[in-house]
Amino acid sequence: MSTLLLRYFCSQRSPRMTKQLLHTSSLVCAVEKELLARLRKQTGFSIGNCKKALEMHQNDIAKAEVWLQAEAQSKGWEKATKLSGRQTSQGLIGIHIEGKTAAMVEVNCETDFVARNDKFRQLVTQAAKECWKGNTLNEDVILAKESFSTEQVKTITTEDGKTLGDVLALAIGNIGENMGLPRATRVSAGHDISLVGYCHPSTIDQDANTGKFGAILAVKTSNSISEVAKQLCVHVIGMNPRAIGSLDDPKAENPEEESLLIHQEFLSDPTRTVAQVLDDEKMEVIDFIRFGSTAVNSSRVSTK
């Protein structure tokens, strides 16, 4: 229709006016293409949706982006509701540690293919960082642990005012698989406690650790945190101790069945026990938390 109108107007004008009109029309088209390219780059939505948004809002890119986000959120919740019954047997653990606070979150999806997707990893990273915020540790407390249920995780508010539930629904709409936020934890430490975290297999994404398994250790030491602290995280993931234990606690008859951390053979050096390693390093484990994605067996894991 626009082409027919342009031809009509051109037929009613002099050659000079026609040339000016065609030049102006080409400039308008160029501006629209530039806006379209910029909107698509900013939002990541399809060209068709971006074009529709610009047309609806007379090329106002700000209004077009708001409309696109609202539309995507609405469709995301719609798709999330539709897919909610599908099993989420894959996923990742994410850890974010900053200062004296650490957070660990589990995010599930349907397939391993999506679990390896960059957008899914970014979702896990964002969830871990958002869970990290908001600690209210009393200065007199040595260590504080908070556990979050799936409903509590979903109500955590992000920087842009959305909840993690909204962010999850948007990801479901974009990626096309059912997803879940089954649990999270946040640990805050006093001034003489250090927090160390590790995921296995480990992938660093924007300062957050992601992997199928994760562990956070709260340790006390007069020395600076060494590589041994990270090795202890790997040990907790691999050996899955049920408690720290003490030297007075009886050892298991079979070392391979030992469930107390300090009596277990150190994974990085089986010639020593964890207790011996801690003694050599002048280090004390105050507490630990271990997550295993529901997609995998949460018992002992090969960390090789």
Distance in angstroms (rounded) separating the CA atoms of residues 196 and 237: 13
Q: Which of 28-42, 120-134, 192-206, 258-272 has the lowest mean pLDDT?
A: 28-42
User: Would you say residue 296 has pLDDT above 70?
Assistant: no
User: How many Å apart are CA 170 and CA 172, to the nearest integer?
Assistant: 5
Write down the domain spans for the chain.
2-83, 91-292
Under CATH, which architecture does the 2-83 domain have? Answer: Orthogonal Bundle (1.10)
Query: Cα-flanking dihedrals φ and ψ of residue 49, to 5°?
Result: -70, -40
Q: 68 - beta bridge partners?
A: none
pLDDT tens digits, 98-131: 988 999 999 999 999 999 988 899 999 999 999 9
Range in 61-65, 162-166, 168-172, 222-226 the model is least confident about: 222-226
| pLDDT > 50? residue 194 | yes
Task: Tell me the CATH number for domain 91-292.
Answer: 3.30.479.20
Query: How sure is the predictor about 132, in pLDDT bands with cuts at 50, 70 and 90?
Result: very high
Q: Distance between CA atoms of 54 and 67, rounded to whole angstroms?
A: 10
pLDDT for the residue 77: 66
pLDDT at 46: 67
**What pLDDT score does 110 carry?**
93
Give the pTM. 0.74
